[in-house]
């Protein structure tokens, strides 16, 4: 292995180990307060104004829930919405189709904690693979679709309340303990 690749591998390992420290997956002491589950969300929409409205509503709904913290850096769970205007729709040319994805990095964080921190493995391939997994978005857990007939405030509220409810039902609070 070249010196550059070895240095890169060690840097990745050290970065992965520092990443794991932020997850702190060990059980808390009885007097320690639970840490909120780090989550993220993203809305991809061809209409920036509509995307901002949906994103803002999702953020407000999540902030109102205890046990979660929104952060873009190393979330354990992520909600992704792809919002696309219906094209050539004879019934409702103003409608939007929404693809909803829920990705999770909990399993990679668990393995990383076990194999990089608690009982570090000597296998360089395992360390590199785990570090790569920890830096990834996560694995697809759930996928769903929705349709929004109108982009009124009421239509956006109905969509976001339903999507956030299902996402949080499948994402335990205080997972980041």
pLDDT mean for each 10 residues of the chain (177 residues): 37 39 39 76 96 97 94 90 90 89 89 83 85 83 92 94 96 74
- How many angstroms separate the CA atoms of 19 and 63, rounded? 24
SS (H, E, C) 32-66: CCCCCEEEEEEEEECCHHHHHHHHHHHHHHHHCCC
CATH 3.40.50 for domain 3-169, yes or no, is yes
pLDDT of residue 176: 58
pLDDT of residue 33: 59
- How many angstroms separate the CA atoms of 143 and 67, rounded? 23
pLDDT of residue 153: 94
- How many angstroms separate the CA atoms of 66 and 58, rounded? 15
């Amino acid at each position: 292995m070249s010196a550059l690749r070895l240095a890169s591998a060690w840097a990745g390992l050290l970065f992965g180990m520092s990443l794991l420290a932020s997850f702190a997956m060990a059980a808390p002491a009885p007097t320690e307060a639970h840490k909120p589950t780090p989550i993220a969300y993203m809305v991809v929409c061809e209409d920036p104004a509509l995307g901002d409205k949906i994103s803002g509503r999702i953020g407000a709904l999540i902030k109102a829930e205890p046990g979660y913290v929104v952060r873009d850096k190393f979330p354990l769970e992520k909600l992704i919405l792809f919002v696309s205007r219906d094209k050539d729709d004879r019934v409702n040319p103003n409608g939007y189709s929404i693809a909803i994805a829920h990705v999770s990095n909990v399993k990679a964080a668990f393995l990383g904690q076990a194999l990089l921190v608690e009982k570090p493995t000597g296998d360089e391939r395992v360390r590199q693979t785990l570090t790569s997994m920890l830096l990834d978005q996560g694995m697809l857990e759930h996928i769903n679709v929705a349709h929004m007939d109108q982009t009124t405030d009421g239509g956006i509220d109905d969509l976001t309340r339903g999507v956030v409810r299902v996402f949080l039902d499948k994402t335990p609070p205080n997972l980041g303990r």
